[in-house]
A and B are shown apart, each in its own frame.
Chain A
């Protein structure tokens, strides 16, 4: 198992390198020059050249990449061109907000999604199933920013229960978590239901019935355990999606976080910050796949055996 973990983590290294190359090079195709934003109108070409040297923008791209990567590996994410602060500081400020939002949304989606999926599967083709699956379809077809605005309208404007935006108290987290979480809930409920129904048709379930176990015990004690394996795997793979959802929702609710930082830096052409944000999101995606594989091995003895 430990050998497997080491091997699995080593496998992430080439992926990380590939992603870092993509992130680095993509950003250099973005038109618009951050130096323009910094220079006063009418500055001399000399001042401009000096600025380019200061930020290393005058060197060939591969060299810039090498310097950037070695700095990143040492934890130095560079200096934000517009904000004129270490990028690491900006990330360190934004990351906890995004982690709290993403983590709570993940928790909410898992609990609500598995619960609804189980209820739907147990009542397959009856009204609770239809109602839940109808809600799920609706939940997955609403743009998340719109859902956020509607929740804001209902709970903040009409009912006045929760703050509209910002991050001053924990209550400000409720609506953003709900907004991201409802989309995730739809996904989890759908997978849970399908895998429960699929697992119910397996041979060993017939034998469980033949042993005289009650249907509820079979469903919750055996079938659900099997259904959770794909749910956990897919959920881990979807950590990236949840963070992606966080990007839009953070903007809607004007919350500090990676998403807001990313959108702001994109519009200001602030390369180092954008690169760092993307790198963080990419790391989250990679850690998600790693986590998914580990959880799968924990939950399924056959997978453990294949790895040993």
Chain B
């Protein structure tokens, strides 16, 4: 089965600052790929690259290629890229509070997607919008369509954003930290909605998050980014059972439990280095408990391990009985 979304050794820079370095990922229909890492690891940038939206933030692809359904997004015309965005690729943003145009009614903001990409009339687009809202279990869909964004709660707004992502009949949804800005109870609902979409409609979902708990809950595979490079990638089950990269292990170790500060990495102090001062060698070595002399000098390349890949000179050996 060919991958729907494929990143082939993609490097990205903003201005002259290189931020992503040779990221390789692939995502098939009907699957959920979790993309994890701390702030500054390059998750959102990967999403922008996949959407072809890098120019918006002054960035560009400096190496490799982003392929959607086999086609190189970088080689497309602007019009072709626009047809993909909102059409075959739906996007769910990080902060629903600021994602909607505050001076346009909700309904119109959803309608425009199916009018643009499915060629529906005003009336048909509205009917479709109401149907989508109802399916996303938004009560009183008609009243909501006539409401202004400031009249809705955060969870409700995120459902609207998901409705917009679905309105163009997408094959792939990219969700950039869709629950970060929401209450815990609402977070679970949104994740549940996204998971159900993949199962019921055979969509592919690229789920960007810094929450390993969410990954364990819904994802098929997981890719861990650190400082613009891929640290580890593979199926969720084996990786959670026996993470090979010390950074993955630390992330799994910090799945929020009661009373624990969000984002703090247990046992690994410090923060992701700034893109202006990436350390030489393995970029994780200043924070790594296993770092050796080798790690200071030479960056490890992703090498196959079990059903995935890991980029570490001192990766944990696979559990007994596996290659």
A and B directly contacting (CB within 8 A): yes
- Please judge, given known A-B contacts A211-B113, A225-B103, A226-B103, whether A302 and B150 are in contact too, CB under 8 Å: yes
Contacting residues of chain A (191-227) with chain B, CB-CB under 8 angstroms: 202-204, 206-214, 222, 225-226
A14 located at the interface, meaning its Cβ lies under 8 Å from any Cβ of chain B in the complex: no
B53 and A210 form a contact (CB under 8 A): yes
Q: How far does the Cβ of B154 sit from chain A's closest Cβ, in whole Å?
A: 13
Mark out the residues of chain B between 89 and 109 whose CB falls within 8 Å of any chain A CB in the assembled complex.
Answer: 91, 93, 95, 98-104
Q: Give which listed residue, A206, A211, A301, contacts B103 with CB less than 8 A.
A: A301
- Whether A212 touches B82, Cβ cut-off 8 Å, given contacts A206-B93, A207-B93, A207-B161, is yes
Contact of B116 among A204, A213, A301 (CB under 8 A): A213
Judge if B287 is at the interface, Cβ distance under 8 Å: no
A206 to B116 Cα, complex, angstroms: 17
Instruction: From the candidates A203, A213, A214, A301, name the one contacting B150 in the complex (CB within 8 A).
Output: A301
Q: A299 an interface residue at 8 Å Cβ cutoff?
A: yes
Inter-chain CA distance A214–B168, complex, in Å, is 15
Contact B103 A209 (CB under 8 A): no
**B134 CB within 8 Å of chain A:** no
Of A204, A212, A214, which is in contact with the most chain B CB atoms at under 10 Å from its CB?
A212
Contact indicator A207/B102 (Cβ below 8 Å): no
Q: How far is the CB of A237 from chain B (nearest CB, A)?
A: 21
- A208: which B residues are within 8 A, CB to CB? 101
Q: Please measure, in the bound complex, the distance between the C-alpha atom of A261 and the C-alpha atom of B168, giving whole angstroms.
A: 64
Q: Is A50 an interface residue (CB 8 A)?
A: no
Which A residues are in CB contact (< 8 Å) with B168?
A: 211-212
A214 & B102 in contact (Cβ 8 Å cutoff):
no
Q: Is the CB of B98 within 8 A of A302?
A: no
CB atoms of B95 and A203 under 8 A apart? yes
Among A204, A212, A225, A299, point to the contact of B85 (Cβ < 8 A): A212
- For A202, the closest partner residue in chain B by CB is B98
Q: How far is the CB of B131 from chain A (nearest CB, A)?
A: 18
Contact in complex: A212, B116 (CB < 8 Å): yes
Tell which of A203, A204, A213, A226 touches B112, judged by Cβ atoms closer than 8 Å: A213
Q: Which residue on B lies nearest to A212, using beta carbons? A: B86
Contacts A204-B100, A204-B101, A302-B102; is A210 near B150 (CB within 8 Å)?
Answer: no
How many A-B pairs fall under 8 Å by CB?
71
A36 part of interface (Cβ distance < 8 Å): no
B contact residues around A300 at 8 Å (CB): 102-103
Instruction: Given the known inter-chain contacts A203-B93, A203-B98, A206-B53, please indicate yes or no for A211 contacting B148, CB distance below 8 A.
Output: no
Q: Is the CB of B82 within 8 A of A210?
A: no
A residues in contact with B116, CB < 8 Å: 211-213
Tell me which residues across on chain B come within 8 A of A202, comparing CB atoms.
98
**Interface residue B178 (Cβ < 8 Å from any Cβ of A):** no
Closest Cβ–Cβ distance, residue A80 to chain B (whole Å): 49
CA distance A207 to B117 in the complex (A): 15
Are A212 and B101 in contact (CB-based, < 8 A)? no
Nearest CB of chain A from residue B166's CB, rounded to whole Å: 12
Known contacts A210-B93, A211-B113, A213-B116: does B150 contact A305 (CB below 8 Å)?
A: yes
Restricting to A283-302, which residues have a CB under 8 Å from any CB of B? 299-302
Inter-chain contact A207/B91, CB cutoff 8 Å:
yes
Whether A207 pairs with B100 at a CB distance below 8 angstroms is: yes
Chain A residues, Cβ within 8 Å of B53: 206, 209-210
Q: What separation, in Å, do the CA atoms of A222 and B100 have in the docked complex?
A: 11
Residue B87 is within 8 A (CB to CB) of chain A in the complex:
yes
Q: Which residue of B lies closest to A229 (CB)?
A: B103
Q: Using Cβ atoms and an 8 Å threshold, which residues of chain A touch B104?
A: 222
A214 touches B82 (CB 8 A): yes
Q: Which residues of chain A come closer than 8 Å to B117, judged between CB atoms?
A: 212
Residues of B within 8 A of A226 (CB): 103
Tell me if B251 is interfacial: C-beta within 8 Å of chain A: no
Residues in B with CB closer than 8 Å to A302 are: 102-103, 148, 150
Cβ of B290 to closest chain A Cβ, rounded Å: 39
- Across the interface, do B85 and A301 meet the contact criterion of CB distance under 8 Å? no
Instruction: Check: B66 CB closer than 8 A to any chain A CB.
Output: no
Q: Are B151 and A305 in contact (CB under 8 A)?
A: yes
CA separation between A222 and B93, bound complex, in Å?
Answer: 18
Of chain B, the residue at the smallest CB distance from A301 is B148
In the complex, whether B196 has a CB less than 8 A from a CB of chain A is no
Set A209, A210, A301: member contacting B102, Cβ < 8 A: A301
Cβ–Cβ < 8 Å partners of B164 in chain A? 207, 211
B51 located at the interface, meaning its Cβ lies under 8 Å from any Cβ of chain A in the complex: yes
CA distance A210 to B101 in the complex (A): 13
Docked-complex contact A204 and B150, CB < 8 angstroms: no
Contact with A along B128-143 (1 / 0, CB 8 A): 0000000000000000
Task: Report A246 CB to chain B, min CB distance, Å.
Answer: 33
Residues on the B chain within 8 Å of A207, using CB = 91, 93, 99-100, 161, 164
Chain B positions 152 through 173: 1 when the CB is less than 8 Å from some CB of chain A, otherwise 0: 0000000001001000100000
The 4 closest A-B pairs by CB, nearest first: A212-B86, A210-B91, A203-B98, A211-B86
9 additional contacts (CB under 8 A) given A210-B85, A212-B116, A222-B101: A206-B93, A207-B161, A210-B51, A211-B113, A212-B84, A212-B117, A226-B103, A300-B103, A301-B148
6 A-B residue pairs with Cβ-Cβ distance under 8 Å, sorted by A, are A204-B101, A207-B164, A208-B101, A214-B82, A302-B148, A305-B151
